[in-house]
Every structure is written in C-alpha cells, then in structure tokens.
Amino acid sequence: ETGVTQSPTHLIKTRGQQVTLRCSSQSGHNTVSWYQQALGQGPQFIFQYYREEENGRGNFPPRFSGLQFPNYSSELNVNALELDDSALYLCASSPGMADHRSGYTFGSGTRLTVV
Amino acid sequence: RKEVEQDPGPFNVPEGATVAFNCTYSNSASQSFFWYRQDCRKEPKLLMSVYSSGNEDGRFTAQLNRASQYISLLIRDSKLSDSATYLCAINTNAGKSTFGDGTTLTVKP
C-alpha cells in the first residue's frame, strides 16, 4: 500500500508568481484535502476534493484553486503569490466522505517560501 | 473565538511523568474526533481516534466529553520519544477536519 506523496518537497517563488503543487493519494482513497500550515499554527483547511468535485472550501481567496484527476491525485494552484503564502502545504487523503471516522493520512508536505 | 482550541504549552515533563492535554471545540454538531502527533518540520500523523466511550492504546488514553465539548489525551510513563506537538482535530462535516494549533510536549531525561 503506497502512502500519500507530494511534490515538490521545497519551493522558492517570487511574489506575484504562480505555483502548482501535486499530490498522489493513498491507494484506495478517493478524497483529498489540502491544508496550509504556517509556523506555529495548526493546519488550516483550504479545500477538499471527492471524486473529482470540490467538496467544501475554507476561508481562502479564489487565487487558491485545485483539481482532482480520475486516479484521485490532485493539484493545488496558487496565483499571484503573496509573502504570507509562505507555509507548509499538506495534502491529506482519506477513504471517503462516508467514512468520517477514519482520520487522515498526510503527505510529507511542500514547503513554499515566497520572497 | 477559534472553532478548536488547545493550550499551546509548552509542557515540559520528566521521563516517566503522566501528562494530559485538553482540546475544546465550539460546534456541538461535531461528529468525529482525533489526535495527531507532529514532529518538528514533519507532517501530522494520526495518533488515535477518540470514541464516545473513551479508548486506550498502550500508554495513550483518549476521552470525549460531549456535554462540555472537549476531548483529552493522557500520556502515561512519558518517554523522550513522546516529545512532539499534539494536534487535535474535529470533524463537523463528513471527512473535513478542523485542527487546533497544537500543544507542544517536551519530555526531559
């Protein structure tokens, strides 16, 4: 059973640029959630994808967008990067919305630095 | 007020001590409850789910108090390797977790 993999692991971007982060969900999991974790804080919910459809969104502006593909892998896109976007971006997969007791399996994250 | 609140600590305890963390939540419709462990600069890892009747996994005991809207994590016989940040997570809608900011534990020799 493969776990959740994220790429790249680290990234440095300039303010105003665009970035795409990628996530492969754990085998058998059809739900992917993206979180932003700033230093010293807990993960903040960005959005969730279930079977290629967005299923809920947190308090993030529209320049944060995403996709889920038929194989349940997912992308997070951020346009017009701001300095405050610097954070650890975590992808979490879970078996499905119906199984809300299962908890998440997280990838190791992408550490984004905006300069 | 945040939906999920934790005492940030840090909790500094000697090896062998018993330590307990609480996590309060504001949404009474919350359905599922979890504790995660996060090591420095790593991803959170699921430690245990929290069930209504309380549950235990080795040295770790989790409890839920729905009336007072909090969950707790008790760690007995603390080990150096227990040093980490402990995050609570609450599901208010199926599959989406809201996290606290974590409680930092340092176990000292």
- In chain A, residues with a C-beta closer than 8 Å to the C-beta of B97 are 33, 45, 92, 103-104
3-state secondary structure at position B82? helix
- In chain B, residues with a C-beta closer than 8 Å to the C-beta of A96 are 95
Q: Do A56 and B93 touch (CB under 8 A)?
A: yes
For residue A25, give both structure tokens: 């969900």
From A111-115, B1-5, B61-65, B93-97, the region with the lowest mean pLDDT: B93-97
Instruction: Tell me which DSSP letter residue A18 carries.
Output: -
Tell me the per-residue pLDDT of B48-88, one tens digit each, with 9 for 90 and over: 999 889 999 999 999 999 999 999 999 999 999 999 999 99
pLDDT at A88: 98
Please state the three-class secondary structure of chain A as a single string.
CCCCEEECCEEEECCCCCEEEEEECCCCCCEEEEEEECCCCCCEEEEEEECCEEEEECCCCCCEEEEECCCCCEEEEECCCCHHHCEEEEEEEECCCCCCCCCCEECCCEEEEEC
> B16 falls in which pLDDT band (50, 70, 90)?
very high
- Nearest-neighbour CA in chain A from B101: distance (Å): 4
**Residue range A36-49: average pLDDT?**
96
Tell me the per-residue pLDDT of A58-105, one tens digit each, with 9 for 90 and over: 999 999 999 999 999 999 999 999 999 999 999 999 887 555 567 899
- Using a CB–CB cut-off of 8 Å, the residues of B that contact A are 4, 6, 31-32, 34, 36, 42-46, 49, 87, 89, 91, 93-102
Q: Do B95 and A106 touch (CB under 8 A)?
A: no
